[in-house]
A and B are shown apart, each in its own frame.
Chain A
Amino acid sequence: MPVILFVCYLFDEEDTMMRKRKNRCGGKRVALWVALAMVCLLLSPPLSFGKDKSLLTVYTVNYPLKYFAERIAGKYAQVFFPAPADEDPAYWMPEVQTITAYQQADLILLNGAGYAKWVSKATLPQSKLVDTSRSFSDRYIYMEEVFTHSHGPEGEHAHESLAFTTWIDFDLASQQARAIADAFIKKRPDLEKTFKRNFTSLAQDLHTLDSEIMFLVSLNQNQPFVGSHPVYDYFARRYGFNMISVHWEPDQAPSRQQWIELQTLLEEHPAHWMIWEGEPMASSKGKLLDMGVESLVFDPCGTVPDDEDFLDVMFRNIDNLRVAYR
């Protein structure tokens, strides 16, 4: 509006001629135009450049989702994952203050598949929840040989038998990332292009991981592995791993019974490699070696790594896996 008025002023022929003849009135005319321009400026809608929209506040239930969210949102979100580094996020129970912080978020990214047991015991705003694995919920893996309980002769079983480490199937991880991107776009449709671009970049990286493992496994499809813990179900399904898992912890020495069970297992499933979530105890490694089983670490990276990011950890995992295929 003020631009229009200014242009009108410039091209006001009559005014141009009049200015020359009646200089004493020129000043008044200028003042009038300036005043009109100021009025128009005040009445105009505020200009859009430099608009400061607040950052999205995002909370996640594990580190991979935090990584995905940060890759996709970039500088447009603050992403939080408050679980302590030394606690398994799947079984962590946050304090009430932390739950309150989750409640205040713009978005809460859930893994789905029964991950983060605390979610079923906490009150979170449904409108802000994003179940990142909903798109493949029909392909959840139910874990075998988990001891459930029921009530009475006909009671239903407790639902603690879902495998939940979905993100190390990098195809599923990509779907989870897409769900995050969609949620971000819904919240900030003005940043759709940015989010899509960032997601594409992330999806490309995940695809690289996916392809590398596919290739590795293709070198020896039937090579038997033992999983130290039942966290590799989706990984095994995706890449066709011939894997059977036990219930060991890297930082705990297996019991005698557990060694016996492993021995029995190896008789049917002659694996030469055990895949650990983290660096196992030297004693465990040594004893396994005596049994002809080497150890490699494939860290699911559920918690925040030191000085690395998700991709770094996964590439390192692939390097570790590569050793088994030499």
Chain B
Amino acid sequence: MIDSLYIAWKYIVANRAKTITLLSCITLIAILPISLELLLDESERQLLSRAATTPLVIGIRGSSLDLVMNTLYYGDEIPDFISMEAADQVSKSGLALPVPMYVRFQARGYPIVGTTLDYFEFRGLTLGEGRQLAILGDCVIGASVAEKLDLRPGDSLISSPENLLDLAGVYPLKMHVRGVLDKSHTTDDLAVFVDLKTAWVIEGLGHGHLDVTKTTDKSLVLRKTDTNVAATAKLEHYNEITEENIDTFHFHGNSSVYPVTAVIAVPHDEKSGTILQGRYLSRDEMLMIVKPKEVVDTMLQNIFRIRNVLDAVILVVGFATVLAIVLVFALSVRLRKREIGTIFRLGCRKLTIARFLGAEIGIIVIMSAVICTGILIVLNLYASDLVRMLFIR
């Protein structure tokens, strides 16, 4: 047996190109369905687990998938806004804890999630470094954001403008990193968390500036009455909230009309949840309430159908590859016909000839298996991050 392996190994080494080609084909055809299965299982697990832990989401009537993807996974599709009044209504009902979410802006490619402190308790997020949000302008970042942008508590992070041409729109705000969250292996690792009010400052609903009621610079005053001073556009708004200027920050208008993208509702019990859902059933209701688990289940069922198709395709491709591999081996045997003839003439038994050829196949298959195992181990280690990167966000 050892001699067969020795001869086979020598042959394999001497025919590297053929060996590598065969190895690649076998490895690919073996690893493809397994890794796809692994990644899909992991994505299903991630999607489902996050959805399962989010009881209800309230948003604008429309695409429940967009609403759930934006609220739970910070997807790029931003649903139409609802107002903070939706959260107030939930709070007043006494049926659930409202957790408003405003997922609209970005900072260096990462979503800025405007929310309340309740969100962190709801998701079980803990701080790894630094402290929690405390005042306007603070931000707390996910572990992956900290790693990728090399940020620590004490550093700053500027929000990105929504549109470079939108001069009167979203203000870049220099936020202060106050804390870094522990790795949660969820989408939260890739998010920048701010207080809802800070998100509204980014939008321009709140701002800080010189006190125009006291300024002597007439170019800053558009109109002055006995009770009100209207400022001109020349009045510069602070793009960073500091200890010195925080007192100047204020909001205009009523905060109950301020926008949010969704409200996560955590019912106090099942009965409260049912009652709460009932309140949004009316066709005239502008808002809708969805159960993320149901939405994701439906989505996954569709993916499952696609998965079946993918599996079938892989099966066909795999079969074709196996045929190709068999052909390669058959041709290889034919190429070695002379060698086989020689050892036959020297007195080699038929079984030994078969063993030589079998050993070659066996070594290639074992090498492929080792490579596959290595790839699968690595894939398993990074599956959750890969899935988030490739499929979820």
> In the complex, are the beta carbons of A159 and B230 less than 8 A apart?
no
Can you spell out 29 A-B residue pairs with CB atoms less than 8 angstroms apart?
A: A93-B246, A93-B247, A96-B131, A96-B134, A100-B132, A120-B250, A121-B197, A121-B249, A122-B135, A123-B197, A124-B117, A125-B117, A125-B118, A126-B98, A126-B99, A126-B116, A126-B117, A127-B97, A127-B118, A146-B227, A147-B213, A148-B228, A148-B229, A149-B229, A150-B231, A151-B252, A155-B231, A158-B250, A159-B254
Chain B 94-116 interface residues, beta-carbon cutoff 8 Å to A? 97-99, 116
A102 to chain B: closest residue by CB: B134
- State the Cβ distance, A198 to closest chain B Cβ, in Å: 23
Query: Is the C-beta of B278 less than 8 angstroms from some C-beta in chain A?
Result: no
- CA of A99 to CA of B118, assembled, Å: 15
Q: Does A27 contact B (CB under 8 A)?
A: no
Given contacts A126-B117, A149-B228, A150-B228, contact A156 B135 (CB under 8 A): no
Which residues of chain B are near A100, meaning CB under 8 Å? Answer: 131-132, 134
Q: Decide: A99 near B252, CB < 8 A? Known: A126-B98, A148-B228.
A: no
- Complex interface bits, A166-196 against B, C-beta within 8 A gives 1, otherwise 0: 0000000000000000000000000000000
Q: Is A153 an interface residue (CB 8 A)?
A: yes
Residues of A within 8 A of B (CB): 93, 96, 99-100, 103, 117, 120-127, 145-153, 155-160
Interface contact A123-B228, CB-CB below 8 Å: no
Q: Counting CB contacts under 8 A, is B91 at the interface?
A: yes
- A148 engages B227 (CB within 8 Å): yes
**From residue B72, how far is it (CB to closest CB) to chain A in Å?**
19
Mark out the residues of chain B between 330 and 377 whose CB falls within 8 Å of any chain A CB in the assembled complex: none
User: Within 8 Å CB of A155, what residues of B?
Assistant: 230-231, 252
Which B residues are in CB contact (< 8 Å) with A160? Answer: 250
Q: Is the CB of A152 within 8 A of B117?
A: no
Complex interface bits, B273-307 against A, C-beta within 8 A gives 1, otherwise 0? 00000000000000000000000000000000000
With A93-B247, A121-B246, A124-B117 already in contact, the answer to whether A153 and B132 are too (CB < 8 A) is: no
**Does chain A have a CB within 8 A of B203?**
no
Q: Which residues of B contact A153 (CB under 8 A)?
A: 222-223, 230
Among candidates B134, B228, B233, residue contacting A147 with C-beta atoms closer than 8 Å: B228
Bound-complex Cα distance A146 to B118 (A)? 35
Q: Which chain B residues in 180-217 approach chain A with CB under 8 Å? A: 195, 197, 211-213
Give A127 to B115 CA distance when docked, in angstroms.
12
State whether A121 touches B117 (Cβ < 8 A).
Answer: no
Interface residue B385 (Cβ < 8 Å from any Cβ of A): no
Q: With A and B bound together, what is the CA distance between A103 and B252 in angstroms?
A: 26
Q: Most chain-A Cβ atoms within 10 A of its Cβ — which of B134, B246, B252?
A: B134
Whose C-beta in chain A lies nearest to the C-beta of B231? Answer: A151
CA–CA, A160 and B121, complex, Å: 32
CA distance A146 to B229 in the complex (A): 11
Q: How far does the Cβ of A137 sit from chain B's closest Cβ, in whole Å?
A: 11
Bound CA–CA A199/B197 (angstroms): 35
- Cβ of B23 within 8 Å of any chain A Cβ, yes or no, is no
Give the chain B neighbours of A159 by CB distance below 8 A: 250-254
List residues of chain B with CB within 8 A of the CB of A157.
228, 252
Q: List 19 extra interface pairs beyond A121-B249, A123-B116, CB under 8 A.
A: A93-B247, A103-B132, A103-B134, A120-B197, A120-B251, A121-B197, A122-B135, A123-B132, A125-B116, A125-B118, A126-B87, A126-B91, A126-B117, A145-B226, A149-B231, A153-B222, A153-B223, A158-B250, A158-B252
A148 to B231 Cα, complex, angstroms: 11
By the criterion CB–CB under 8 Å, are B121 and A125 in contact? yes
| Residue ID in chain B nearest A147 by CB atoms | B213
| B223–A149 touching, CB < 8 Å | no
B117 touching A103 by the CB < 8 A rule?
Answer: yes
**Are A96's CB and B227's CB within 8 A?**
no
